[in-house]
Amino acid sequence: MSSPVVIHAHHAPQGFIRKYVFSLDHKVIGIQYYFLALFSVLVGVSLSLLMRFHMIHPEAKVAWFGTLWPTAAQGGIMTPELYLSLMTMHGTIMVFFVLTTAPQGGFGNYFLPLQIGAEDMAFPVLNMLSFWTTLVALGVMMSAFFVQGGAPLAGWTGYPPLSGIGPLAGPGEGLGQTLWIVSIAIFCGASLMGAINFIATIIDLRCQGMSLMRLPLTCWTWFVTAILGLLGFAVLLAAGVLLILDRSAGTSFFIPEGLMVSDQILNHKGGSPLLWQHLFWFFGHPEVYIAILPGMGVTSQLLSTFARKAVFGYRAMVYAILSIGFLGFLVWGHHMFMSGMSPYSAMAFSVLTMAIGVPSAIKTFNWIGTLWGGKIRFTTAMMFALGFVSLFVTGGLSGIFLGQPALDLYFHDTYFVVGHFHMIMGVAAIFGMFAGTFYWFPKMFGRMMNETLGKIHFYVTFLGVYAIFTPMHYLGIAGNPRRYSDFTNFDFLGKLLPVHHFMTQAAYGTAAIQILFFINLFWSMKYGKKAPMNPWDATTLEWTVPSPPPFDNFGGHHPVVHHGPYEYSVPGAPRDFIMQTDPPFDDPSSPNASH
């Protein structure tokens, strides 16, 4: 272990409200974000199960559907509009309140200051505000379910004209869609506050000796994610303001002239729906990396820790993270190949998209290089990190197809796309979160999670997600369109129904096994084995403080870093890991000095 630390130099705030509710402590805020995401994922997954059920039983009468949605599911039969609103809310909740929130707001908040040797984030008040604003955004989003007309149905991308013309466009396009935009705008504000905090913290609050090239890769990914969020959410916020003006102030930014909806000619004129697409995807593509980059950081951290080897090519990993972040802003057009853009623009976007394959491949090969010849410890956390690599490769490979304009013309709006983005953005990122949960739970809650339950959960989930999302690629090649709520009326789709049945069963099974995760999570918080300070023999700074850490992290002691973050199995060292705070080799008091 590193040099002992003096604990409790500062006193934590007293009282329940200041300590757990309106807390300024980054650790409490991190846990708040984590539980916000956990609640959101429950809602999001439930919605997806309802969708999967409806796809294979479109005519089924379910009494409680009628109770829940008296208008949209009259007599217990789900309408196509209700299906679309479930789809919209599933996508929105998962992308914004789960994939954006847990890896950055949750783990990032909790572990960034600890890993860089700071006592807190740079602006604790802003940090608290950021969480509570996110919660308000979630509340506003959820309230869309309960207003007249119900939740919106324009998809998580909120494309106008559908999203811009009000109740004429269908149920959910009235107040529901307005609440959706307002919620996204509030969320943008919260994310901007978070991004400011992350960037200032990493730049200015690193402890002595923590040079940029000694930062754990998790910190690098949180840093680049914050920059992406900063630049992306600012643009989405601007686009949201324009959209809400089109809806409520009669402007025509996105609504074209002569549009006839529900037998009425609209007053709007001259706007361009493509303008929204450009603004949205300028945010939307970096958003993919906002979701996945922290997972990459966690995976790098875990592969190194559990293979007992340094990360292969640390600098290359850092440059790959930076390049992915940079290139992520130049490829938004590949979401719009079908918009009638010039083939030359499409080719430029396609080439840039392919270019992202280079840093992505660097990361993948370096992960494999890290594992090569390592003394691998197959903990549950490690299994999920390995699962992340697998899913990232699978999802990434299908992206190469979609990045070709010629192929995208065919695949666009088919299940191929659904399979692709669920693999890479959804499931891979969620595997990153599971990996992070199993790895950091001992530090966060002072107890260990159950490894047997964890492994059962891993194997079933891993096989389950492949069973759900691999067939989608086949469906897409077979021409199965996405966003359809019912395939029974089309001959060529009818033949694909058995595949949908299989996927729905797989979804039920995969969702059911998550109960095991929740049991493990909550049971371990109370009854898990007590966690030591450094249960994984890891090297980074969070493992130099008690589990859970004291209020001010390092107990008034200011850590000094002498080593890189991944010094495992160093020849000549007495242990197979060197903590970042261990004295240098030439210091006779060092446990690593050769005597």
Q: What residues numbered 368-397 form the site for other proteins, per CB under 8 A?
A: none
Please, which residues have CB within 8 angstroms of residue 367's CB and are 6 or more apart in sequence? 299, 300, 303, 312, 389
Segment lying near other proteins (by CB under 8 A), choices 204-212, 345-353, 420-428, 465-473: 204-212
3-state DSSP assignment of residue 123: coil
Cβ–Cβ under 8 Å, residues 587 and 593: yes
What is the footprint of other proteins within residues 21-60 (CB under 8 A)?
24-26
Q: Whole-number minimum distance, CB 1 to other proteins, in Å? A: 19
Cβ–Cβ under 8 Å, residues 592 and 557: no
Please, which residues have CB within 8 angstroms of residue 552's CB and are 6 or more apart in sequence? 9, 10, 119, 120
Segment lying near other proteins (by CB under 8 A), choices 54-62, 265-273, 295-303, 451-459: 265-273
Is 495 a binding residue for other proteins by CB under 8 A? The answer is: no
Distance, C-alpha 281 to centroid of its chain: 17
The DSSP symbol for 446 reads S
Q: Whole-number minimum distance, CB 472 to other proteins, in Å? A: 33
Q: Whole-number minimum distance, CB 225 to other proteins, in Å? A: 14
Q: Whole-number minimum distance, CB 69 to other proteins, in Å? A: 34
What is the footprint of other proteins within residues 124-143 (CB under 8 A)?
124-126, 128
Cβ–Cβ under 8 Å, residues 371 and 307: yes
Total binding residues for other proteins by CB under 8 A? 80
The DSSP symbol for 260 reads E
Distance in angstroms (rounded) separating the CA atoms of residues 163 and 273: 10
What is the footprint of other proteins within residues 298-327 (CB under 8 A)?
310, 313-315
How many other CB atoms are there within 10 angstroms of residue 453's CB atom?
Answer: 17
Q: Whole-number minimum distance, CB 560 to other proteins, in Å? A: 8
What is the footprint of other proteins within residues 164-193 (CB under 8 A)?
192
Of 128 and 531, the one with the shorter C-beta distance to other proteins is 128
Of 452 and 589, the one with the shorter C-beta distance to other proteins is 589
Is 200 a binding residue for other proteins by CB under 8 A? The answer is: yes
What is the footprint of other proteins within residues 506-535 (CB under 8 A)?
none
The DSSP symbol for 265 reads E
Strands (E), 17-90: none
Strands (E), 63-182: none
- By CB under 8 A, name the one of 42, 77, 245, 478 that touches other proteins: 245
What is the footprint of other proteins within residues 70-129 (CB under 8 A)?
118-126, 128
Is 205 a binding residue for other proteins by CB under 8 A? The answer is: yes
3-state DSSP assignment of residue 568: strand
Q: Whole-number minimum distance, CB 337 to other proteins, in Å? A: 19
Burial of 522 (0-12, 13-18, 19+ CB in 10 A): exposed
- By CB under 8 A, name the one of 203, 265, 347, 358 that touches other proteins: 203
- By CB under 8 A, name the one of 59, 204, 263, 491 that touches other proteins: 204
Cβ–Cβ under 8 Å, residues 296 and 432: yes
Segment lying near other proteins (by CB under 8 A), choices 358-366, 431-439, 455-463, 568-576: 568-576
Q: Report CA-CA distances (Å) from 113 to 122, 151, 199, 444, 540.
A: 9, 38, 12, 14, 12
| Tokens of residue 547, six digits | 């589990």
Of 219 and 239, the one with the shorter C-beta distance to other proteins is 239
Q: Whole-number minimum distance, CB 407 to other proteins, in Å? A: 28
Is 270 a binding residue for other proteins by CB under 8 A? The answer is: yes
Segment lying near other proteins (by CB under 8 A), choices 4-12, 153-161, 171-179, 432-440: 4-12
Cβ–Cβ under 8 Å, residues 326 and 140: no
- By CB under 8 A, name the one of 45, 51, 138, 210 that touches other proteins: 210
Is 341 a binding residue for other proteins by CB under 8 A? The answer is: no
Q: Whole-number minimum distance, CB 273 to other proteins, in Å? A: 11
- By CB under 8 A, name the one of 1, 354, 585, 590 that touches other proteins: 585
Segment lying near other proteins (by CB under 8 A), choices 20-28, 336-344, 352-360, 384-392: 20-28
How many other CB atoms are there within 10 angstroms of residue 555's CB atom?
Answer: 18
3-state DSSP assignment of residue 403: coil
3-state DSSP assignment of residue 481: strand
Is 576 a binding residue for other proteins by CB under 8 A? The answer is: no
Question: Which candidate, 520, 544, 517, 519, places its Cα nearest to that of 532?
Answer: 544
Of 84 and 226, the one with the shorter C-beta distance to other proteins is 226
Please, which residues have CB within 8 angstroms of residue 256's CB and are 6 or more apart in sequence? 161, 268, 269, 270, 271, 272, 273
Number of H helices, E strands in the chain: 18, 2
Q: Whole-number minimum distance, CB 503 to other proteins, in Å? A: 38
Q: Whole-number minimum distance, CB 118 to other proteins, in Å? A: 6
How many other CB atoms are there within 10 angstroms of residue 234's CB atom?
Answer: 16
Task: Name the residue with tokens 């549950």.
Answer: 380
Total residues belonging to the chain:
595
Is 558 a binding residue for other proteins by CB under 8 A? The answer is: yes
Question: Which candidate, 270, 269, 280, places its Cα nearest to that of 243?
Answer: 280
Is 252 a binding residue for other proteins by CB under 8 A? The answer is: yes
Of 249 and 260, the one with the shorter C-beta distance to other proteins is 249
Of 57 and 278, the one with the shorter C-beta distance to other proteins is 278
Q: Whole-number minimum distance, CB 441 to other proteins, in Å? A: 24
